[in-house]
């Protein structure tokens, strides 16, 4: 008893904890303003089929156009609010905004699968699937396979049974699921049997050094083999160079996204990008060996 009290008291008077709390409430306040003032935006990064260059989808990535600081990337504010309910509110905004954009592109003749990132806290919400269903109901002209979710491998491993159920229910709603940052979760691989996801997304840290680092290349190769064995599709993220794309084709990875193909861009820029995009010639002649 005494021990527990002592620990609680320590926590209560921890000045670092207090500073963190103060910083958190300031950030939450500014994000509430940001939501009200339409300072949040989604940028979209194309995903392509490497060999044909065909555009197969886009990932929606959150941006905050802060009047004081300019464009703020998600890594600078999402980690701080990851346990705070405002991240759920932002999550809803992201899904709703992506759905509107998918319908808009569809009306303009571009039918795309757009993926949105789902936080661990979002996934834990008991009403997550019900709320997703309500979002979809508001968008009756959404094309088939219009929406996909990206769930962090680490979040899925956190509660495999729940993740498995959510993924199954999402797929019943016609919403695909990818396991994001795959390979960084350090999990026993047998859990893959319980996750009916559609796709594995190879973490970009493995792609980055793949051509120089035999270990990283072995991991990439291993994930591609794993995907085949478990019947997942597989995509590489963080493809920055033509040579990385070639190697991925040779290793049998059909899909990719990365700065070497396109950076994330505002929705309005994507149609133009799509019209002018040509894959490197070397990708057309590369072969899965």
Binding residues for Mg ion (CB under 5 A): 117, 150, 180-181, 237
Q: Is 70 in the site for ligand C2E (CB under 6 A)?
A: no
Query: By C-alpha distance, which of 143, 113, 41, 157 is closest to 257?
Result: 113
Residue among 98 and 192 whose Cβ is closer to ligand C2E: 98
Q: Is 238 in the site for ligand C2E (CB under 6 A)?
A: yes
Query: By C-alpha distance, which of 175, 97, 111 is closest to 143?
Result: 111
Q: Is 102 in the site for ligand C2E (CB under 6 A)?
A: no
E strand map for 126-171: 147-152
Query: By C-alpha distance, which of 65, 82, 63, 83 is closest to 73?
Result: 63
By CB under 6 A, the count of residues binding ligand C2E is 23
- Minimum CB separation of residue 50 from ligand C2E in Å reads 14
Q: Is 280 in the site for ligand C2E (CB under 6 A)?
A: no
Q: Is 264 in the site for ligand C2E (CB under 6 A)?
A: yes
Stretch that binds ligand C2E, among 153-161, 213-221, 237-245, 273-281 (CB under 6 A): 237-245
The number of beta carbons lying within 10 Å of the beta carbon of residue 192 is 21
DSSP structure string for 228-287: HHHT-EEEEE---SHHHHHHHHHHT--EEESTTT---EEHHHHHHHHHH----HHHHH--
Residue among 185 and 264 whose Cβ is closer to ligand C2E: 264
Q: Is 117 in the site for ligand C2E (CB under 6 A)?
A: yes
The alpha-carbon radius of gyration of the chain (Å, integer) is 20
What Cα–Cα distance (Å) separates residue 74 from each residue in 61, 102, 173, 287? 8, 21, 28, 37
- x-marked contacts with ligand C2E along 10-39 as a string, rule CB under 6 A: ------------------------------
Separation of alpha carbons 86 and 42, rounded Å: 17
Residue from the set 138, 172, 229, 259 that interacts with ligand C2E by CB under 6 A: 259
Residue among 101 and 117 whose Cβ is closer to ligand C2E: 117
Which residue ranges make up the site for ligand C2E (CB under 6 A)? Answer: 45, 61-62, 73-75, 78, 94, 116-119, 150, 180-181, 204, 237-240, 258-259, 264
């Amino acid at each position: 008893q005494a021990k527990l009290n002592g620990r609680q008291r320590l926590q209560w008077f921890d000045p670092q904890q207090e500073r963190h709390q103060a910083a958190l409430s300031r950030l939450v306040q500014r994000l509430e303003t940001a939501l009200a003032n339409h300072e949040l935006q989604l940028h979209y990064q194309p995903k392509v089929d490497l060999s044909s260059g065909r555009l197969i989808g886009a990932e929606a990535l959150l941006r905050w156009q802060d009047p004081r600081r300019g464009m703020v990337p998600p890594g600078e504010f999402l980690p701080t609010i990851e346990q705070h309910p405002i991240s759920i509110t932002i999550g809803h905004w992201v899904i709703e905004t992506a759905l509107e954009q998918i319908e808009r592109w569809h009306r303009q003749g571009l039918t795309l699968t757009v993926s949105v990132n789902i936080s661990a806290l979002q996934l834990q919400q008991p009403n997550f699937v019900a709320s997703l269903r309500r979002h979809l109901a508001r968008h009756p002209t959404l094309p088939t396979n219009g929406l996909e979710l990206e769930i962090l491998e680490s979040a899925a491993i956190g509660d495999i049974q729940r993740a498995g159920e959510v993924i199954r229910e999402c797929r019943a709603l016609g919403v695909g699921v990818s396991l994001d940052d795959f390979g960084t979760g350090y999990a026993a691989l047998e859990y893959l049997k319980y996750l009916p996801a559609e796709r594995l997304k190879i973490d970009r840290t493995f792609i980055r050094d793949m051509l120089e680092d035999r270990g990283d290349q072995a991991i990439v190769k291993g994930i591609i083999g794993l995907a085949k064995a478990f019947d997942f599709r597989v995509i590489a993220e963080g493809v920055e160079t033509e040579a990385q794309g070639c190697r991925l084709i040779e290793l049998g990875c059909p899909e990719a996204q990365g700065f070497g193909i396109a950076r994330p861009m505002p929705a309005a820029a994507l149609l133009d990008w799509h019209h002018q995009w040509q894959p490197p010639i070397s990708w057309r002649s590369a072969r899965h060996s």
